[in-house]
């Protein structure tokens, strides 16, 4: 090899970014070089160095508008001053105690004040744990062990909640034409599948028929009425009516998973859909950016966890449950996410969807943005999205989405890998315009390529 070739190669090679170097380093000690499947995308994500408001600054000093907001858990963006102040105060007093603290009362009271259906609460450390606790609570109350969930809907990584999370077209229906119970993780015990009934998100008649047959054996039905994996479109009122009817008729408890969608209304999403859950599962924004989960409900339901008279029907606790840092950050987060803030952020989300959808339509792009309030998700293709099956990207869309995600990131905006996002209170109209323009440009480039 001549020295001139060597020189040319060296000149052509871009210096390795600090994020690329971090990824190389992480691959040696972490499987896949990333702690979370959901936040990884090829060749590797930028590594965050710090955050300020709605911005992330990465290791290479790039400012990125953050619409992922740690999978929608940050409603005030990063380093929100009231949360920083609350945490600074709390941390000086110690981080974990084997005793109760007043902070846990204050956060539980704040939830109850927003929605009387959240009269009592038990905190844990993740939404997954909250869903597991609610399911166990329903089992302990009813003495039954089976549950029903909606096809494709994500409720964390508890075995039963994961059933049919990502079933493929060739395995969608069972012999009777109903959604099949399909394992998500390899090695899922067959009993988990037998004990988890899968319901269709947008077919009220089929849903009612399945519940008529299975209802008497069910402890709980868990649902999220605006589920991201079902396209972030609302569950039809007729399906909700079928669920309510089955619960009334067969004594099934209703769990509404508000881990993501609590941010859509001051009292969460249940009141917006006329739902009166027995248990509500919470997480994300109620922890102000720290690990959190919670199961809430009316006192007579939450009694299943009551240990005051000896061993409860269902024991619920954990070493770091209701830790003082999470309680302090969560209270600051909710205090500043009051009725006006909720309304402002929801309106901003509506403006974003309008701007994107009008822009896509004007440009003749077969693409639309779904969502509600401050949450949004991009759908490629012109078909109507009504449920998990219609929301599931077609093979060509599965290939296009990462390119659109990458182009939007190149324009300085972080979405989740499936091109969904959440707005945060530091954002305003300028950010809405930036997101809309970047998305329209990215989809235009993809379609014209």
Ligand X SMILES: Cc1ncc(COP(=O)(O)O)c(C=O)c1O
Interface positions with ligand X (CB under 6 A) = 71, 126-128, 131, 154-156, 224, 257, 259-260, 283, 293
Residue 214 tokens read as 């299975």
> What strands lie across the sheet with 253-257, from one edge to the other?
120-124, 293-297, 279-283, 253-257, 218-223, 146-150, 196-199
Maximum distance among all Cα pairs of the chain, rounded to whole angstroms: 84
Burial class from Cβ neighbours inside 10 Å (0-12, 13-18, 19+) for residue 39 reads middle
CB of 373 to ligand X, least distance (A): 14
Q: Note if the bond before 43 is cis, omega within 30 degrees.
A: yes
CA distance to 38, 104, 121, per residue, from 263 (Å): 21, 20, 17
Ranked by CB distance to ligand X, the top (closest) residue is 127
Instruction: Considering the complex, state which of residue 292 and residue 345 has its C-beta at the smaller distance from ligand X.
Output: 292
What is the chain's length?
Answer: 449
Smallest distance from ligand X to CB 198, Å: 16
Residue 413 backbone class (left: φ over 0; alpha: ψ -120 to 50; beta: rest): beta
In 10 A of CB 449, how many CB atoms?
7
Nearer to ligand X, 22 or 292 (CB): 292
Smallest separation (angstroms) from ligand X to the CB of 268: 12
Q: Which is nearer to ligand X, 83 or 294 (CB)?
A: 294
Q: What b/e sequence results for 211-249 when a residue is b if at least 16 CB atoms lie within 10 Å of its CB, and e otherwise?
A: beebbebbbbbbbbbbbbbbbbbbbbeebbebbbebbee
Write the secondary structure of 238-258 as one string of H (helix), E (strand) and C (coil).
HHHHHHHHHHHHHCCEEEEEC
Provide, rounded to whole angstroms, the least separation between the CB of residue 293 and ligand X. 6
Q: For residues 409 and 446, what is the distance between their CA atoms, to the nearest angstrom?
A: 14
Nearer to ligand X, 125 or 346 (CB): 125
Across the strands, what pairs with 327? Answer: none
Q: How far is the CB of 125 from ligand X (least distance, A)?
A: 8
Q: Is 315 exposed, middle or buried (0-12, 13-18, 19+ CB in 10 A)?
A: exposed
Smallest gap from Cβ 70 to ligand X, in A, equals: 10
Residue closer to ligand X by CB (options 48, 351) is 48
At closest approach, how far in Å is the CB of 128 from ligand X?
3
- CB of 19 or CB of 121, closer to ligand X: 121
19/164 with CB nearer ligand X: 164
Q: With respect to ligand X, which residue has the nearer C-beta, 55 or 72?
A: 72
Is residue 106 classed as helix, strand or coil in its secondary structure?
Answer: helix
CB of 73 to ligand X, least distance (A): 7
């Amino acid at each position: 090899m001549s020295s001139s070739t060597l020189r040319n190669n060296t000149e052509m090679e871009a210096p390795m970014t600090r994020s690329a170097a971090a990824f190389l380093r992480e691959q040696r000690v972490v499987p896949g070089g990333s702690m979370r499947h959901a936040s990884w995308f090829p060749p590797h994500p930028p590594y965050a160095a710090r955050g300020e408001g709605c911005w992330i600054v990465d290791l290479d000093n790039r400012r990125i508008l953050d619409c992922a907001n740690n999978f929608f858990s940050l409603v005030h963006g990063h380093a929100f001053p009231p949360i920083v102040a609350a945490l600074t105060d709390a941390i000086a007093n110690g981080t974990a105690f084997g005793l109760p603290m007043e902070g846990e009362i204050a956060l539980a009271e704040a939830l109850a004040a927003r929605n009387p259906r959240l009269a009592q609460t038990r905190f844990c450390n993740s939404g997954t744990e909250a869903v597991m606790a609610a399911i166990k609570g329903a089992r302990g109350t009813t003495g039954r062990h089976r549950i029903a969930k909606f096809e494709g809907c994500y409720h964390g990584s508890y075995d039963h909640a994961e059933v049919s999370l990502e079933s493929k077209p060739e395995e969608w229906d069972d012999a009777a034409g109903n959604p099949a119970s399909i394992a998500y993780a390899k090695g899922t015990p067959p009993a988990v599948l037998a004990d988890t009934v899968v319901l269709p998100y947008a077919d009220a008649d089929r849903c009612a028929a399945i519940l008529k047959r299975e209802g008497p054996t069910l402890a709980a039905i868990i649902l999220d009425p605006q589920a991201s994996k079902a396209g972030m479109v609302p569950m039809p009122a007729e399906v909700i009516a079928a669920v309510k009817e089955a619960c009334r008729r067969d004594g099934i408890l209703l769990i509404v998973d508000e881990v993501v969608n609590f941010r859509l209304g001051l009292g969460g999403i249940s009141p917006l859909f006329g739902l009166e859950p027995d248990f509500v599962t919470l997480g994300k924004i109620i922890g102000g950016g720290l690990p959190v989960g919670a199961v809430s409900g009316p006192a007579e339901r939450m009694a299943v966890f009551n240990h005051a008279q000896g061993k409860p029907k269902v024991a619920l606790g954990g070493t770091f449950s209701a830790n003082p840092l999470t309680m302090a950050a969560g209270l600051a987060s909710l205090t500043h996410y009051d009725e006006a803030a909720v309304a402002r952020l929801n309106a901003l989300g509506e403006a974003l969807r309008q701007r994107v959808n009008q822009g896509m339509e004007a440009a003749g792009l077969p693409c639309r943005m779904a969502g509600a309030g401050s949450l949004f998700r991009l759908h490629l293709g012109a078909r109507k999205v009504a449920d998990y099956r219609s929301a599931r990207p077609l093979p060509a869309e599965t290939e296009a989405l990462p390119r659109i995600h990458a182009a939007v990131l190149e324009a300085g905006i972080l979405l989740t890998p499936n091109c969904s996002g959440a707005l945060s209170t530091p954002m305003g109209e300028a950010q809405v315009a930036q997101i809309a323009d970047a998305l329209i440009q990215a989809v235009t480039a993809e379609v014209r390529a």
